[in-house]
Amino acid sequence: MLLAEPYRIKVVEPIARTTREERERFITEAGYNTFLLRSKDVYLDFLTDSGTSAMSDNQWAGMMLGDEAYAGSRNFLALQETVRRYYGFAYMVPTHQGRGAENLLSRILIKPGDYIPGNMYFTTTRAHQELNGGTFVDVIVDEAHDATADLPFKGNVDLTKLESLIARVGPERIPYISLAVTVNLAGGQPVSMANMRAVKQIAERHGINVMLDATRCVENAYFIKEREAGYAGQTIAEILLEMMSYSDGCTMSGKKDCLVNIGGFLAMNDESLYQRACELVVLFEGMPTYGGLAGRDMEAMARGIVESLDYDYIAHRIAQVRYLGEALRAAGVAIVEPIGGHAVFLDARRFLAHLTQDEFPAQSLAAHLYIEGGVRAMERGIVSAGRDDDGNQRYPKLELVRLAIPRRVYTYAHLDVAAEAVIQLFRHRDEIPGLTMVYEPRILRFFTARFEPIAKPEADLTRAREASIASVH
């Protein structure tokens, strides 16, 4: 049975359909990069779950209570109180979004030559670590890099990998352990409470801090409640507090689990770390009591944090994501298993088995999904992985297309339409060509890189068409 929406719709935003011919033109103009499409040309926008949530009437009401004083806004005090109560951290500096917090944290704690262990890289997080002279070291369990491995807590840290890094480089060269809950690029996979506890114990033994990337921590808490022994009877809020207790602080992109369109924060328990964050935030964001946000944005985030902990909200959220994933799986489409918290990830390696990774299969698949059904998704593979310090192309094992579901925005009918588009595309997958990159930005290239299709001889296309017709029958 469908878990129906725990809300009713008060405001609607029309979305327009386009023709296939129009979409072919739009994606060509966008250099086969879905980031460069205009939103008005997209029917179902699953590019990201970041900043795309629908706010509640309660949050919009809070926006009217914005205290836009330059310093000491009452909305800051409300946000600080909310973070203390639900996340358990004594101090909090607001930032314009998650990467603002990553910038502050990386600048304060990382010295050139340091190593930062983490459970799989994330694009902006690693970019800030590297900009400050650090080296990210992936200590996630091996199975996280295997799209087919079906484990309840596939975001877990491999404790042996963590211990051996500490032994190899020494704890003094590890400013903190960067622990993401859930793990975005592994497919929105959660970390178990037991694993978080164990990471904290190891870190304490060596005098190393644990800093969480709490961006999707509520989704992680839901999975703990659902899957980990001993947590079924606890509330999401209780689980979240315990998760946070195994860390020394966190960066937060409020644009995800805090249910706002903009905002983030850096939180911690250590007063001296807070003081340094206050010194830096005035340089990059604004006063420590607004950090790049309007008072009304802080109010919306404070209220969003409370709403995000409501069981009905989070159960429905996860149910929607699962609904889409199960429809694709039933049609034989290769997806990352198990279905994660914020998105369904298509496995482009298996979907487009005729392409090599250098032909950017996930990028091409995302572009062709847009052509097929006006559905916008995001590449999470070789393009996102970028190059290492020596300019060498990184080759991630996972070559994925992410369909991220915005929170409280789409209905199950929209998900049916999206699934149908993916399934249609799957039927003629052999016709999808590889791409060549014609413009490559130096940093975070996936946002603005441009591509062109690799022309295939007509004979190849005919053969591919015949093969795909045969494979359907």
**Active-site residue numbers?**
70, 122-123, 213, 256, 380, 446
Shortest Å distance, C-beta 114 to ligand PM9: 19
Which CB sits closer to ligand PM9, 166 or 259? 259
Check residue 97 for interaction with ligand PM9 (CB under 6 A).
yes
Check residue 123 for interaction with ligand PM9 (CB under 6 A).
yes
Which CB sits closer to ligand PM9, 98 or 295? 98
Contact region with ligand PM9 (CB under 6 A), list: 77-85, 123-131, 235-243, 416-424: 123-131
For 424, the token pair is 């249609």
* Interface pick for ligand PM9 out of 215, 289, 320, 357 (rule CB under 6 A): 215
Q: At how many degrees (to 10) do helices 20-29 and 361-373 cross?
A: 140
Which CB sits closer to ligand PM9, 41 or 257? 257
Which CB sits closer to ligand PM9, 124 or 247? 124
Check residue 128 for interaction with ligand PM9 (CB under 6 A).
no
Contact region with ligand PM9 (CB under 6 A), list: 122-130, 221-229, 296-304, 448-456: 122-130
* Interface pick for ligand PM9 out of 125, 156, 195, 363 (rule CB under 6 A): 125
Q: How many CA atoms lie within 13 A of 300 on its CB side?
A: 27
Nearest to 212 by CA among 188, 236, 170, 176: 176
- Position with the least CB separation from ligand PM9: 98
Which CB sits closer to ligand PM9, 253 or 364? 253
Contact region with ligand PM9 (CB under 6 A), list: 119-127, 149-157, 192-200, 293-301: 119-127
Shortest Å distance, C-beta 247 to ligand PM9: 15
Check residue 48 for interaction with ligand PM9 (CB under 6 A).
yes
Location of structure tokens 């909200």: 313
Which CB sits closer to ligand PM9, 383 or 464? 383
Check residue 59 for interaction with ligand PM9 (CB under 6 A).
no
Q: How far apart are CA 214 and CA 199, in angstroms?
A: 15
Shortest Å distance, C-beta 214 to ligand PM9: 9
Check residue 124 for interaction with ligand PM9 (CB under 6 A).
yes
* Interface pick for ligand PM9 out of 155, 187, 249, 264 (rule CB under 6 A): 264
Shortest Å distance, C-beta 36 to ligand PM9: 13
Which CB sits closer to ligand PM9, 123 or 220? 123
Check residue 255 for interaction with ligand PM9 (CB under 6 A).
yes
* Interface pick for ligand PM9 out of 98, 338, 381, 396 (rule CB under 6 A): 98
* Interface pick for ligand PM9 out of 189, 253, 308, 357 (rule CB under 6 A): 253
Check residue 184 for interaction with ligand PM9 (CB under 6 A).
yes
Q: How far apart are CA 286 and CA 9, in angstroms?
A: 35
Shortest Å distance, C-beta 51 to ligand PM9: 7
Number of residues located near ligand PM9, criterion CB under 6 A: 16
According to CB under 6 A, which residues from 418 to 447 bind ligand PM9? none
- Three-class HEC string of the chain: CCCCCCCCCCCCCCCCCCCHHHHHHHHHHCCCCHHHCCHHHCCEECCCCCCCCCCCHHHHHHHCCCCCCCCCCHHHHHHHHHHHHHHCCCEEEEECCHHHHHHHHHHHHCCCCCEEEECCCCHHHHHHHHHCCCEEEECECHHHHCCCCCCCCCCCECHHHHHHHHHHHCHHHCCEEEEECCEHHHCCECCCHHHHHHHHHHHHHHCCEEEEECCCHHHHHHHHHHHCCCCCCCCHHHHHHHHHHCCCEEEEECCCCCCCCCCEEEEECCHHHHHHHHHHHHHHCCCCCCCCCCHHHHHHHHHHHHHHCCHHHHHHHHHHHHHHHHHHHHCCCCECCCCCCCEEEEEHHHHCCCCCHHHCHHHHHHHHHHHHHCEECEEECHHHHCECCCCCECCCCCCEEEEECCCCCCCHHHHHHHHHHHHHHHHCHHHCCCEEEEECCCCCHHHCCEEEECCCCHHHHHHHHHHHHHHHC
Which CB sits closer to ligand PM9, 292 or 338? 292
Q: How far apart are CA 318 and CA 340, in angstroms?
A: 8
Check residue 213 for interaction with ligand PM9 (CB under 6 A).
yes
Contact region with ligand PM9 (CB under 6 A), list: 91-99, 155-163, 290-298, 386-394: 91-99
Residues binding ligand PM9 (CB under 6 A): 48, 50, 97-99, 122-125, 180, 184, 213, 215, 253, 255, 264
